[in-house]
Amino acid sequence: MGQLIATSKGGRKIVGEIVHRTHTDISVNILEPYQNLGTCSHIPFFMAARFNFLAEYGDTEAQTLLVELYDVGAFIEANEIVLKEKAASLRESIRQLESGEQSEKDDLASRKQRLWERASSKRISIETYKQQLASIRQQALENSFRKDRLVRRFIDENFPRTLHIGVGLDADVIDVLEARKALRAGDAQGAAS
C-alpha cells in the first residue's frame, strides 16, 4: 500500500493514495468518495533540476491530482446515465473496429510478403522495397491507433475540457462506464468483474 493522502473540496473529504513516487513521476489513485480512478504526472528531464516529486512539490501535486480525480468522479456520477449510453455506442464502434482488425493485419502481412518476394527476385530495387515497406509499416501503425483515437474522441466530446483526463485515466473512465469497475465502494457494478 502506498502513502495515504487526504484533502477536501466543497466540504467533502477526499482520500487517496500515492501509488508511485519518484523524483520525476507521481501516480495517485482516489479511494474515497470514489474509487477505481487513477492519474499521474511527470516532470520532464529539462525541469527535473527545479522540481522534485520527492519533496514538498510532490505533496502539493498529489493533492492537485487527487482533486482532479474527485472532479472526474463527480462528473461521471452527475452524468452517469448519458455517459453510459454514449459508452455503449463507443463499445459498439470499438467492436466493429476490432472485427475488421484481423483481416487488415492479414492483408498487411500478405502485402509485406509479396513485397519481399518482389525485392528478393530483384523485380524492384532495395530503395523501392524500403519505401514501400515504410508505407506498409506506417499504415499498420495508423491502424493500431484507431481504438485510442475513438476513446480520446469520446472523452473530448463528453467531458469538459477543465477535467484533466489523460492516458491511463481515460481507460479507468471507460471501465467505470462499462461497469467493469465500480465508481463507489459497495456499488454492485463491477463487483462481478
Please give the chain's pLDDT, 193 residues, in tens. 789 999 999 999 999 999 999 999 999 999 999 999 999 999 999 998 999 999 999 999 999 999 999 999 999 999 999 999 999 999 998 888 777 767 777 787 888 888 888 889 988 888 898 888 888 888 777 777 888 899 999 999 999 998 989 878 988 999 999 888 889 877 755 444 3
C-alpha cell at 130: 524500403
Q: What is the pTM of this model?
A: 0.77
So what's the pLDDT on residue 191? 44
So what's the pLDDT on residue 188? 55
Q: Taking Cα atoms as reference points, which of 1, 114, 20, 87 lies closest to residue 58?
A: 20
Distances in Å between the alpha carbon of 112 and those of 20, 64, 122, 144? Answer: 42, 48, 15, 17
CB 39 within 8 A of CB 169: yes
Question: What is the rounded distance in angstroms from the CA atom of residue 20 to the CA atom of residue 25?
Answer: 7
Distances in Å between the alpha carbon of 41 and those of 23, 25, 75? Answer: 11, 6, 21
Which one-letter amino acid corresponds to residue 192? Answer: A
Question: What are phi and psi for residue 188, nearest 5 degrees?
Answer: -70, -35
